[in-house]
Amino acid sequence: MSLSEVDDEGVTLTDGTRIATNTVVWSAGVVPSPLMASLGLPTQRGRVEVGPDLAVRGAPHVWALGDAAAVPDLAVAGRGAGAGRRPFTPPTAQHAQRQGPVAAANVTASLGIGAGRTYRHRDLGLVADLGGWDAVARPLGVPLTGPVAKAVARGYHLLALPSLSARVRVATNWLYASVLPTRVARLDLVRRGDALIARAQGIEDAGGPPA
Ligand SMILES: Cc1cc2nc3c(=O)[nH]c(=O)nc-3n(C[C@H](O)[C@H](O)[C@H](O)COP(=O)(O)OP(=O)(O)OC[C@H]3O[C@@H](n4cnc5c(N)ncnc54)[C@H](O)[C@@H]3O)c2cc1C
């Protein structure tokens, strides 16, 4: 069941049920691109099925990774996946990014350069920055909340940035944001035509006077 309509006084579900409310909280899920299901390749919940080497089953010289692929989670399998845990890596940037070098190594190995690899990750925990001084973290299985979790979450995010200059810029921005009032953006200065997706894609000349 999903929402078919939201208005000022409530929501309507797809079966016609009406729920009166003034508050609607929306959260986005992640679904694989519908392209995957149309390729004629084996899929798991819309993701192309691959082996631990990211090679698509039954399709020589084809690899898949990231959100598009159902990659066996060897770390979970090692702990006994049966207990309600899905044996595939979840669709997150953490996995997509780490699967990239593995896929690249296996493509080059198939061309006779270097050795092939399997994708295996070590789960060091999770961090989630919730805004303000709120955060949750579970580094190495230790549950944390509040400012301590915030420090861990921000420390991890800084480490994940790809260069020193990016880290300095982001850290400086956080420092400013902690002592200065919130910045205000004037969106009405953007010309209405420039804000169209069609304009960004270059398929329509959407010029016009400022809104
Ligand atoms: C709202 C939201 C919040 C998220 N938050 C987090 C988070 O906090 N932490 C985290 O780890 N992950 C998060 N994720 C998940 C993360 O964004 C994805 O797991 C990650 O981006 C997957 O990377 P990918 O390279 O597999 O796919 P993508 O990043 O989706 O890249 C696929 C690319 O292929 C392009 N493409 C699609 N179809 C075609 C086509 N037919 N031809 C050419 N190009 C095409 C797309 O435009 C896109 O650029 C979030 C996702 C969402 C939606």
| Band of residue 84 on the pLDDT scale cut at 50, 70, 90 | low
Q: What are the backbone dihedrals phi and psi of residue 49, each rounded to the nearest 5 degrees, phi first?
A: -75, 125
Number of the ligand 1 atom closest to the C-alpha atom of 92: 19
Domain presence at residue 161: yes
Shared domain check, 9 and 75:
no
CATH number at residue 50: 3.50.50.60
Whether residue 91 is found in the same domain as residue 140: no
Report DSSP letters for 33-51, one per residue: -TTGGGTTS-EETTEEEB-
Structural domain of 19: 1-28
**What does the pLDDT look like over 101-156, one tens digit per residue?**
999 999 999 999 999 999 999 888 899 999 888 999 999 999 999 999 999 999 99
Total of domains in the chain: 4
Given the CA of residue 65, which atom of ligand 1 is nearest to it?
26
Any ligand 1 atom below 6 A from CB of 37:
no
For residue 179, count CB atoms less than 10 angstroms from its CB and return exposed for 0-12, middle for 13-18, buried for 19 or more. exposed
pLDDT tens digits, residue range 153-203? 999 999 989 899 999 999 999 999 888 887 777 767 777 777 777 777 776
pLDDT digits (tens, 9 = 90+) for 20-39: 999 998 887 788 999 999 99
**Ligand 1: which residue has its CA nearest to atom 38?**
33
Phi first, then psi, for residue 135 (nearest 5°) are -165, 160
